[in-house]
Amino acid sequence: MRTILLDFKKFLHKETFHPYMKKKVQLPEYHGNNLDAMWDAMSYLKEDLRLCIYNWEDHDEADTETYSKAVIAALRELSEHNSHIRLEFITIRRYF
């Protein structure tokens, strides 16, 4: 199983999210920059993927203006549809 760390801060805006996701998950370059295209491309993946989302703790759940809610909803639906995709929210602790 391949583990992919995804920074939640990149989910806030459509313009930053899609190029980031293409690179991290290695989606085809022709993938459109929208959630439907991402869902279509990832729904047929046969490789086991563990998508670990970090930096989500500081997100204000009441903030409805960010793209992140739509992204999370799409990823949750995708993980329910494709048994090869596992979605996790993780906390990365830094000790200095």
Residue among 29, 35, 46, 33 nearest 75 (CA): 35
Domain regions of the chain by residue span: 2-89
What CA–CA distance (Å, rounded) separates 88 from 72? 11
Query: What is the per-residue pLDDT across 57-74, written as a single tens digit (0 to 9) for each?
Result: 877 666 656 899 999 999
How much is the average pLDDT of 1-16? 95
Query: What is the per-residue pLDDT across 39-61, written as a single tens digit (0 to 9) for each?
Result: 999 999 999 999 999 999 877 66
CATH value of 2-89 in 3.30.370.10, 3.40.190.10, 1.20.58.1000, 3.40.50.300:
3.30.370.10
**35-43 and 68-81 helices, crossing angle to 10°:** 20
Compute the mean pLDDT over every residue in the chain, rounded to the nearest whole number.
91
Percent of the chain exceeding pLDDT 70 equals: 93
Q: What's the pLDDT score for residue 63?
A: 60
